[in-house]
Structure 1
């Protein structure tokens, strides 16, 4: 014997609504349509040329690849900070305005280089993971903040 409380757990409010119709409301398709190749009981939903999920075709990064990419992004951020500190220690020995401007421009480009390298190598190598990793690791080697590491300038 079951109680009405147990029966309530097996149904939804409004299940006894007479306007609800059980079964398929889709009209049958002609035999030569897209449903002709489907097994018995299967139906085609949607229409041709409708919504296509574009990201579904892309492969998502695996967890180790995502962690590695995060570590490399952190390294590039630390390189940017290292370049900023290292370049700040260098004194500008030049006196004419053009040379001072070029020196300042070079130091700011050196500070921005790690972030630009990371963004460019990530964006330009979409769909080519092996090439992306190659460029990112090459950037870690080439863009090391030597003024910070070597300790140029006085502090």
Structure 2
């Protein structure tokens, strides 16, 4: 118990209490030494650790990344169209050498390959650095070139 003279020199709340767990408001990120120990303040006002966040919740994509995804997605769409046109140009040649049973599955797979590459890159690089995703998407741009369209074209020879 304290005396009246001690009460006059203190304020309500001056008691020695342990410091609260450090927490940042939503949208702020801790950096530097010991940043892994800092949590975020939840909607209910309680502090939570970063590891306890919902896995569905992720940071939004930057403008640059959205632009790169749009351009590469457009290139992949053009590649799919190129595979359709180039594959149809090769169909008479394929009928001469191979049966339709062999041509059709590979034709469909060639058309779907750019979309499958984009989807696989998107899913497999979740949570990785953006440059890894961009490098894999650009690798697909190089590997999935529709060579029948590039060599024969629409007109053919």
Common fold by TM > 0.5: yes
**Separation (CA, whole Å) in 1 of partners of 2:138 and 2:88:** 26
Q: Which runs of 5+ in 1 are unaligned?
A: 1-30, 39-43
Name the residue aligned to 1:135. 136
**Separation (CA, whole Å) in 2 of partners of 1:137 and 1:47:** 44
Name the residue aligned to 1:46. 44
- Higher relative contact order, structure no. (Cα contacts within 8 Å, ≥ 6 residues apart): 1
Q: Deviations over 1:40-81 (max 9, x none)?
A: xxxx9737699x873796222111111111100111011001
**Separation (CA, whole Å) in 2 of partners of 1:101 and 1:116:** 22
The two structures, once aligned, show a CA RMSD in angstroms of: 3.5
Secondary structure of the corresponding residue to residue 145 of structure 2: coil
Note closer, same or farther for the CA distance 1:46–1:141 as it changes in structure 2 (3 Å cut): same
> 1:94 touches 1:100 (CA, 8 Å); kept in 2?
no
Write 1 or 2 for the structure with the bigger share of strand.
2
Aligned length: 116
**Separation (CA, whole Å) in 2 of partners of 1:57 and 1:32:** 38
Report the Cα offset of residue 124 of structure 1: 1.1
**Separation (CA, whole Å) in 2 of partners of 1:45 and 1:105:** 52
Name the residue aligned to 1:37. 20
Which residues in structure 2 correspond to 1:3-152 (within 5 Å)?
37=20, 46=44, 54=54, 58-90=58-90, 91=92, 92-94=94-96, 99-128=99-128, 129-151=130-152
Structure of larger gyration radius: 1
> 1:79 touches 1:143 (CA, 8 Å); kept in 2?
yes
Report the Cα offset of residue 104 of structure 1: 1.3
Runs of 4+ in 1 over 3 A off after TM superposition: 31-34, 47-50, 52-57, 152-155
Q: Deviations over 1:92-135 (max 9, x none)?
A: 23577xx4211111111111111111111111110112221111
